[in-house]
């Protein structure tokens, strides 16, 4: 039985719309861009990311 650990690669704040993507090279979250614009949202927001209990980090049989 093989199980794979998954990690999120993108996240969006449910309060202000800030978008971030995981950068493998930097090993850090970076601002997402859409149509050439950075998805900065509100810099003073206490971000509520859309990754919650519904995200299952394990995949496999």
Residue range 27-56, pLDDT digits in tens: 999 999 989 999 999 989 999 998 777 777
> With bands split at pLDDT 50, 70 and 90, how would you rate the model's confidence at 61?
low
Cβ-proximal residues to 39 (8 Å cutoff; 6+ apart), any chain: 12, 17, 18, 19, 20, 31, 32, 33
pTM for the predicted model, two decimal places: 0.73
Give residue 37's domain range. Answer: 10-41
What's the rounded Cα separation, in Å, for the pair 20 and 29? 6
What's the rounded Cα separation, in Å, for the pair 36 and 50? 23
Query: Domains in the chain: how many in total?
Result: 1
When computed from its CA atoms, the radius of gyration of the chain, rounded to whole angstroms, is 14
Average pLDDT, the chain: 88
What's the mean pLDDT in 10-16? Answer: 94
Residue 47 domain-assigned (yes or no): no
User: CA 38 from chain center: how many Å?
Assistant: 14
């Amino acid at each position: 039985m093989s199980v794979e650990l998954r990690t999120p690669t993108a996240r969006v704040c449910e309060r202000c719309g800030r978008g971030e993507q995981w950068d493998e090279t930097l090993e850090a979250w970076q601002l997402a861009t859409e149509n050439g614009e950075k998805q900065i949202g509100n810099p003073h927001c206490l971000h509520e990311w859309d990754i919650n209990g519904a995200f299952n980090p394990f995949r496999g049989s």
